[in-house]
Structure 1
Amino acid sequence: MLEKARELSIYTAYNINVDAIVYLKEEHIKKLVSEFGEDTIRKRMDEYPREVNEPLDFVARLILALKTGKPTAVPLVNEELHAWFDSRFEYDLERMGGQAGIISNLLASLDFRRVIVYSPILAEKQARMFVNKPNLIYPLVEDENLVFKHPSEAYREGDPIKINRIFEFRKGMKFKLGNELIEVPFSGRFILSSRFESIKIETRDDLRPFLPEIGENIDGAILSGYQGIKLRYSDGKDANYYLKRAKEDIMLLKRNRDVKVHLEFASIQNRELRKKVIYNLFPLVDSVGMDESEIAHVLNALGYSQLADRIFTYNRIEDTVLGGKILIDDMNLEVLQIHTIYYIMYITHKDNPLSEKELRSSLEIATTLAAARAKLGDIKTPEDFKAGLTVPYNERGEFVKLRFEEAKRRTREYKVVIIPTRLVKNPVSTVGLGDTISAGAFTSYLAMLKEKGKL
């Protein structure tokens, strides 16, 4: 089905950034503990800072992430901290980041027919991180006409660059916090996401009138980056202003053709903003993708705090299924895709045009693509997909299937499909794996709908 998916044209927006990657070593943590002190760090860990305003906030949340081994993203809101980070860490790698950037490079490298990528900011350094492929294009307005160019020919002088710092950690890494010996239980990453006023999540005014035309010429859209919206801005604008524009963008894309839209949800620490994004945007899209911690955050924002707490605490499949059914119904979604370390899940209503077998094959493509990326570090050609086929399913695969069968007995009004993930034991990188899963799942889902004449 990947061959069929490659015939599609996809639009993806809004967030691109530079990922500055550090492969964490025990020495990094020892130096940080020595600099700030065990008692000071523990006190800040107990306070659980939800954003990074000073270096101690960063150290506290980083060590919490290492203790659980779970992928974590926390916003950096103090622009003056760049110098502190640059003085403490040497970056092992700088590459394309941001959901729209990662997904557009992935689909272009897989030779999709046409990949239109859009971000309201495009600096030269960023533009040159896009793969050099003729099927990857960026929309511009010249002489009041819509034109498309490769991003490397479309950058704007003076545009800011968004830098996210990513700290990759490995299972088994050990360090001491006072008398406590901490051993990292899983490989993962801690993302420090820049959240500055200069970075807007919107479509520029000159391009907005052309969104219906873009919508006519694509099979689907993958939208992301809404976690970058701030509650309030110094110019008097607020989150409501940018969410109103985001809603209008989706409706403009769908104006002349009911194009399928997928929203890739990412962690939003502020509960008020999270709630605004959910209620404003989820009802307008067809598909949403998220991980298990994000579905718990979403359910908490919607008022299902006990269920959210159970998902956070126990990670039981039956709770995740129940939460997914609530989201499908409350937000009127066509399909919800949830990805975790050990499994990927689709939840749809019973009348979905695709059979459970077809939905399962879509998820198989998704986990194989992610395994290929984890094994190789990146996907550069369609042939790289085969590397994922050599990766075995994770050791909890049979347990996942058993628990799923128990949960499925309560889902007669829905189609619920789950597969174990293919898990690379020593991944080259874990950055972008969730985005890869969602892109693979959504595009293969579209390809199957198209083959049935439902797209």
Structure 2
Amino acid sequence: MVNLDFSVYTAYNANIDAIARLRQEVIQNVINEFDPRDVLERIEVYPREISEPLDFVARLVHALKLGKPMEVPLVNEKLNAWFDEKFRYEERLGGQAGIIANVLAGLRIKKIIAYTPFLPRRLANLFKENVLYPVVEDGRLKLKPIREAYRKGDPLKVNRIFEFREGMKIKLGDEMIRVPASGRFIVSARFESISRIETRDELRPYLRDIAREIDGAILSGYQGLRMKYSDGKDANYYLRKAKEDIMAFKDEGVKVHVEFASIQDRKLRKKVITNIFPLVDSVGMDEAEIAQILSVLGYRDLADRIFTYNRLEDSILGGMIILDELNFDMLQVHTMYYVMLITHRNNPLTEEELVKILEFGTTLGAARAYLGDINRPEDYEIGLKVPFNERGEYVKLRFEEAKSKLRMREYKIAVVPTRLVKEPVLTVGLGDTISTGVFLAYLEFLRKKFLTG
């Protein structure tokens, strides 16, 4: 367990996650409403956004066939009624910034400040009671309990998470589909009213005051941006504001971590990574997101290999390229079977310390998967009882092989097998949880280095 005497700021994306644990008969009934030929044709088209029910069914069937987590944006607000008619949900706090805030709050760190530009009451009530929210009152910054800081009339974002289980069987025409692995299919709301990732103008002058209150900042949600808005603003406008936010923290000595997420639009993806990554200290992602970034940086062959084969040595090579091309300090990668840190050789931490950082992250993730939530620091201990996954020795072997094949002398690299819960209580946000633990441990080890010289 790391020292929890830290204060952390997290922004920007928080929403309601409406979780539907899919039953076989429910999925089958929805699929049966459509002609199988239409579903198969739409799967071939591979819609990258959901504007009608057939788009949803096609992408859901595709996810079930592969047994892999997927996310597709919902762009038609009128479909909310259709989804609510077909499925039943359990609501919890979602969005990377929201999930991270509640994990930090459950760990009872010294101070957790969460910020989202939209805070309707229904959303505010899902945060833990010890989370603070920055407001400006009488020309002064005030940190209020977030549950008291809600604003009437703010728009609400609801993401729907459809969880499916290994072994489920679905019939599509003459084809019987057996789901090969448990996973989730996320339908993320991407309406214009909730797609403005920013610090509101009234708070912006006080960002340096917030920075003096914290040790680290975890920023996320850039995938929610749009290329253009109806009021004439565009992604460039919001990215300029985002860069100003980061520099306000950096100028006060705050360590900044960005938690990346898949961005379907290639142009927007490139804008985000080239504008944001070079300014921050660390970035977190999964192996598919490594491939996405490599693709826009021009490394198409390597990106395709990662998408196709998921080989550890390809992810390591891709990570080293990303670190060099975008010039930040540390890349953190979380996957089902391993977690990884890559830094430049001049990083003050040793590879042994990087291993300890990763072990804290995967243990925290295992605890949350096992319990469903982190409500007290002692919950972390549960993760220590979860064994490393059955491919752990294979992961270690592949890492040793990668060391013999790749030129790693300019880097420090650590790879640790994940602690994997066989039947997790939840799967949403586990990568964010691991990243939170890694970032906390990273802050602690850097503090120790600074104090000991």
Q: Does 1:225 align with 2:229?
A: no
Q: Does 1:342 align with 2:337?
A: yes
Q: CA deviation at 1:181?
A: 2.2
Range moving further from structure 2, 441-450 or 211-220: 211-220
CA distance in 1, matches of 2:410, 2:361: 25
Range moving further from structure 2, 376-385 or 171-180: 171-180
Alpha-carbon displacement from aligned partner over 1:200-233 (angstroms, at most 9, x marks no partner): 2100001101111111221110000001101111
Q: CA deviation at 1:97?
A: 0.5
| Alignment TM-score, normalising by the size of structure 1 | 0.97
Q: 1:128 aligns with which of 99, 106, 125?
A: 125
Q: 2:412 aligns with which of 415, 418, 421?
A: 415
DSSP-derived class of the 2:193 partner: coil
DSSP-derived class of the 1:391 partner: coil
Q: How is 1:195-344 mapped onto 2 (pairs within 5 angstroms)?
A: 195-199=190-194, 200-255=196-251, 257-344=252-339
Q: CA deviation at 1:32?
A: 2.2
DSSP-derived class of the 1:452 partner: helix
Q: Which amino acid aligns with 1:43?
A: E
Q: CA deviation at 1:63?
A: 1.4
CA RMSD of aligned residues (A): 1.1
* Structure 2 residue aligned with 1:16: 14
CA distance in 2, matches of 1:203, 1:432: 23
Q: 1:95 aligns with which of 92, 95, 100?
A: 92
CA contact (8 A) 1:123 1:159 kept: yes
Q: CA deviation at 1:441?
A: 0.5
CA contact (8 A) 1:96 1:129 kept: yes
Q: Which amino acid aligns with 2:328?
A: L
Q: Does 1:442 align with 2:439?
A: yes
Q: CA deviation at 1:71?
A: 1.4
CA contact (8 A) 1:7 1:113 kept: yes
Q: 2:76 aligns with which of 75, 78, 85?
A: 78
CA contact (8 A) 2:160 2:188 kept: yes
Q: CA deviation at 1:11?
A: 0.5
DSSP-derived class of the 1:436 partner: helix
Alpha-carbon displacement from aligned partner over 1:147-201 (angstroms, at most 9, x marks no partner): 0001111010101111000011112222122222222222221111111111121
Please identify runs of 4+ aligned residues in structure 1 that moved more than 6 A: none
CA contact (8 A) 1:16 1:101 kept: yes
CA distance in 2, matches of 1:180, 1:318: 36
CA contact (8 A) 1:260 1:286 kept: yes
DSSP-derived class of the 1:267 partner: coil
CA distance in 1, matches of 2:43, 2:348: 48
Aligned residues with identical type, % of pairs: 63
Q: Does 1:424 align with 2:429?
A: no
Q: Which runs of 5+ in 2 are unaligned?
A: none
CA contact (8 A) 1:348 1:414 kept: yes
CA distance in 2, matches of 1:271, 1:80: 26
Q: How many correspondences in the alignment?
A: 449
CA distance in 2, matches of 1:70, 1:258: 39
CA contact (8 A) 1:137 1:148 kept: yes
* Structure 2 residue aligned with 1:111: 108
Alpha-carbon displacement from aligned partner over 1:10-33 (angstroms, at most 9, x marks no partner): 000000000000001111221122
* Structure 2 residue aligned with 1:158: 153
Q: Which runs of 5+ in 1 are unaligned?
A: none
Alpha-carbon displacement from aligned partner over 1:54-100 (angstroms, at most 9, x marks no partner): 11111111111112222111111111110110111111x10111111
CA contact (8 A) 2:129 2:146 kept: no
